[in-house]
Structure 1
Amino acid sequence: MKKLSISLLLLLLVCSAHAQQAVIRGDFADPSVIQVGNTYYAAGTSSNWAPGFPVMKSNDLKTWKQTGSIFPDLTEWADYYYWAPELNYENGKVYVYYTAHKKGGNLCVGVASADTPEGPFKDHGPLVCQEAGSIDGFPIRDENNKLHLIWKEDGNSVGKPTPIWIQEINEEKTALVGEKKELFRNDTPWEANLVEGVSVIKNNGYFYAIYAAAGCCGPGCTYATGIARAKSLTGPWEKFEGNPILTGQGDWMCPGHGTAVKYQGKNYFMYHAYDKSSNKYTGRQALVRGFEFTPDNWLRFTDEFLAPAESPKTYTATDDFDKDKLDLQWCWSVFNKPAFELKNGRIGMQIKDDRELFIARRIEGPNYEATVETIPAKSAMTGVALVGDEKNLIYAVAKQDSIAVTLVKDGARSILGKFPVVTKGKNLFIKMQVKNNTDISFHYSINGADFTPINIAKPDITFLPPWDRAVRAGIITKGTEGEVGVVEKFVFKNQ
């Protein structure tokens, strides 16, 4: 019996060691990756969070560090839904083909360029804007070395099919030329209402389109990955009879929308999927998996997974606001950019109107806590928040004489509790704890060590994440226009 238990334990350890892990944990959907020299760069969807499109850097596709973002300030022509940045490196220059919502219009594919993947990027505006919307741009050269753009017409948004189009693009990468042509569309049962996220590679005289289909997002997602091939880039295209070739496996569900890349002579695919345990709360995370070409000239995924050698689930990240720039972990709503000042090891955020003003960071698992050290004011209220978006959040904020907990659902505010507190001119620490994704509690302390629970009825926060994003934890302030909420320190602990 003892021998059996030891054998079982060893088997579990081996399985755990070979289980697939995210290379970029937390909300990093639609990842695109390029190699420049010996370095890899990846960018992911930011949607309605700004800055637009975080950029990560790695030497091995396993361990990544953020270097910045493609659009520190959003583009002039687009207002929201910054999706699917597709990086492209050609002739010493970096291009990004991206989706965004045109002001007064619909979704379009735009392009920007830079001399290095770390920017700065110059935006060149939209390339294609169809009535139903145009998304998921991908550049590729054909068998005659002519550059083309492949994209999806967003027909599913209006109850129609989703053609994948191709059209030649000029060498300056600033305009489409000629006529568009359809490559394929959703026409098989597993693809359901859409095909999208096409990534094209070449091998042995074939072009291969790795594409996603079905429902992308949320706990009811049905996303999966298929393959099609053609001898000529413009077709005809043939879909693999065994599609889908990548579906949910192990700890991960709804895999899709990625980019093929080589590492040490082998083929890999960087894509997103949901962790089954944290699902919509952590969002779509980036994974890397191997693939190979078959003797009959198709493509299949292998069970070779790349993952960090060390991937700690428990860590602490602290921001003392002692730099002259805001740390890269922070983001904010595209609809409400904060005016802030970093001075004397503090951040001050100026309140603009009666809306909540916040900065927040990605979470990476179902259990975490965030503590904000505030400098209480007479009327400006500052504290800690869990944010889905600007209309769906929960937070605890304080001023000199009280703490209040508020729930915002679809823009409607509910006060969950208001409690007196005596700060005696000292800083106030407000802590938010989250367990198992949705079990949330708040606490406060005068000395930063001894915390008192803020007693409220257990709130339902399952509604918080938007359909295409995860929740974020951060700092929030609220009050009268012109007032300033001041914070001394922020501590985030992943547990």
Structure 2
Amino acid sequence: MRTTYFYFVAFLFLCSCGVKKTDSGTTTSNTGQSELLNPALPGDNPDPSIIRVGNTYFATSTTNEWAPYFTIYKSTDLKNWKLVNHVFPEGFKDMKDQWGENNFWASELAYDAKQKRIYAYYTAHNRAVKGNPGLQCGVAWIDADKIETGKFTDNGPVIIEDDCGAIDAFEFQDKGKIYAFWKNDGNGCGKESWIWMQEINESRTQLLGTKRKVYTNSQPWETSLVEGACFFRMGDYIYSMYAVGGCCDAQCNYKTGIARTKDLASGVWEKYSKNPIMSSNEKWRCPGHGTVVESKEGNFYMIYHAFNKNYDVFVGREGLIEKLTIAEDGWPVLHNETTANRPKSELDFEDNFTKDKALKLEWQWPSKFEKPTHSFNKGLNLRASATNHGLGSFLGQYIKTVDFTVSSTVSVTKADAGICLGGTIFKSKWPGELGALGVSVSTNGYKVFNTFDGTYEILKQADGVVNGEVELKMEVGDNCKLIDLYYRTPGREWIKLYSHVFNPAKYAPWGMGYRIGITAKGDLVDQAVFKNFLLKNN
């Protein structure tokens, strides 16, 4: 992170975003926090990372068991973010030797000003290695001026721990040398977890010298692991934010701490005596695993993830941003009072497929599969299949609240064209094993279907000859616990086909939020034709 030391002049009153004096003696400030919009990255955007290139900020996030892999967002003001690319737009096809199979975690961006390149460190599970050692950290790169439209070049796995695997890589430059930091995933195999560091070459293809331990869990508040460490320079110190505890599901207990050193070579790190500096509160659960950036004005901001308590874990871990403040003892800390103030209208989504020439970046598919075959001709023509346990071909995207309405206009064909809510099949060993509930239409009639228990089950069927255009609608309410399914022909009233009481806690994907999307079920020679897709948050 690029840094110069900055002291915040204290105005001792609360800002509208809820900044207050904390137990760490944080000075209050109404500068910065109230100007931010949160969530910065709405929806399922865990482990966010941020850099600044000139006057422009870029962020990335974990995509877990969904492709494309690793988002790239752009902002010029830290408030308004636009999805502009992915590190691997075609999923595993873009990776060197197609080495990654799943666990697409913790992408971290680093800008090399001398090379004018952006590097993306990331975690994936090597399809050639079984068990925890298969977790490895790769590096991909792109010229900075091409990040919005170009393709990254993948160097493949660079950080490999033969024992328990390596995750959460991060780059930091000091005294003319480039260092990679990472966590050995000891908690995944019954051993200690440490943050490690080692010099890496300029092309980011090989580690140099000998790896060294940085720190592990040593304070009383810290549980069985440390992870998600980031590093930045402020004043005379190099600081490290780090996460502790369980991150990713309803049992999470994530918290954030900070440590510092004056000299990386010394190996001596001082942890803040008033840790944790951020923990669950009345608005957000399990905050942590982010990075710090210095703004063009010289302020410091951290982007990190947390669960919105209003949404349980069903939306996933959203990307939040807040300004660092300086405690009275000189440590940079977080105010831990972020408010969800982004207007819900900004979370809505509309896609007019009749005007599209390519699939919009928001659309995703299960990470182990190739992108579903599709084309554009008077709408989105999605090739049918029987994949996903009979659900068929699926394209989806984040949900961003737990009360919303989805609708789509379909040109009826032999294929079952549907809209559905997607999560994980119950008791699946792979959290990306897609289950779904929704409504579909074909020339033979309407179906309400459910695959959340591993087989294609028809909950309601209305047979009859259907042709022309039909609109399908799904209303999700009561915090994702009630799903109403409708259809109509254009100009007619909506007909409720089925009402379903849903148990979102049962099928919530580990580490991920639910998806909402479209599906095409049938023979490979058939295709579903979608005219549009509208998502409105209530």
**Relative to 1, partners in 2 of residues 1:39 and 1:47: Cα closer, same or farther, differing over 3 Å?**
same
Alignment match of 1:127 (pick from 158, 170, 174): 158
Mapped partners of 2:310, 2:500: distance in 1: 25
**Structure 1 residue 341, shift from structure 2 partner:** 3.1
Alignment match of 2:225 (pick from 169, 189, 194): 194
Q: TM-score, normalised by structure 2?
A: 0.84
Residue of structure 2 in register with 1:406 after alignment: 449
Number of matched residues? Answer: 482
**Relative to 1, partners in 2 of residues 1:469 and 1:448: Cα closer, same or farther, differing over 3 Å?**
farther
For residues 90-489 of structure 1, the aligned pairs below 5 Å read 90=112, 91=114, 92-105=116-129, 106-116=134-144, 117-118=147-148, 119-130=150-161, 131-142=163-174, 144-234=175-265, 235-263=267-295, 264-294=297-327, 296-302=329-335, 312=345, 315-355=348-388, 356-378=392-414, 380-388=415-423, 389-423=432-466, 425-435=467-477, 436-447=479-490, 450-489=493-532
Q: 8 Å contact 2:366–2:434 — kept in the other structure?
A: no
Residue of structure 2 in register with 1:6 after alignment: none
SS of the residue 2:164 aligns to: coil
Q: 8 Å contact 1:79–1:100 — kept in the other structure?
A: yes
Q: 8 Å contact 1:25–1:364 — kept in the other structure?
A: yes
Mapped partners of 1:232, 1:250: distance in 2: 38
SS of the residue 2:314 aligns to: helix
Mapped partners of 1:207, 1:314: distance in 2: 37
Q: 8 Å contact 2:474–2:483 — kept in the other structure?
A: yes
Structure 2 stretches of 5 or more lacking a match?
1-13, 20-32, 424-431
SS of the residue 1:246 aligns to: coil
**Relative to 1, partners in 2 of residues 1:310 and 1:401: Cα closer, same or farther, differing over 3 Å?**
closer
**Structure 1 residue 351, shift from structure 2 partner:** 2.9
The amino acid across from 1:262 in the alignment is E
Mapped partners of 1:339, 1:391: distance in 2: 14
Mapped partners of 1:325, 1:471: distance in 2: 24
Mapped partners of 2:387, 2:237: distance in 1: 58
Q: Which has the higher strand share?
A: 1
Return 433-442 or 331-340, whichever deviates more: 331-340
Q: 8 Å contact 1:332–1:360 — kept in the other structure?
A: yes
Mapped partners of 1:398, 1:421: distance in 2: 10
SS of the residue 1:277 aligns to: helix
Mapped partners of 1:493, 1:420: distance in 2: 29
**Structure 1 residue 160, shift from structure 2 partner:** 2.2
Mapped partners of 1:98, 1:322: distance in 2: 34
**Relative to 1, partners in 2 of residues 1:337 and 1:450: Cα closer, same or farther, differing over 3 Å?**
farther
Mapped partners of 1:325, 1:306: distance in 2: 36
**Structure 1 residue 296, shift from structure 2 partner:** 4.3
- Paired-residue identity, %: 34
SS of the residue 2:501 aligns to: coil
Q: 8 Å contact 1:416–1:456 — kept in the other structure?
A: no
SS of the residue 1:28 aligns to: coil
The amino acid across from 2:372 in the alignment is A
Q: TM-score, normalised by structure 1?
A: 0.91
Mapped partners of 1:70, 1:64: distance in 2: 17
Q: 8 Å contact 2:372–2:394 — kept in the other structure?
A: no
Q: In angstroms, what is the RMSD of aligned CA positions?
A: 2.5
Mapped partners of 2:42, 2:491: distance in 1: 29
User: Which string of whole-angstrom CA distances, capped at 9 and with x for unpartnered residues, describes residues 340-368 of structure 1?
Assistant: 33332211222344432100111111111
Mapped partners of 1:69, 1:14: distance in 2: 31
Residue of structure 1 in register with 2:100 after alignment: 78
Structure 1 stretches of 5 or more lacking a match?
1-10
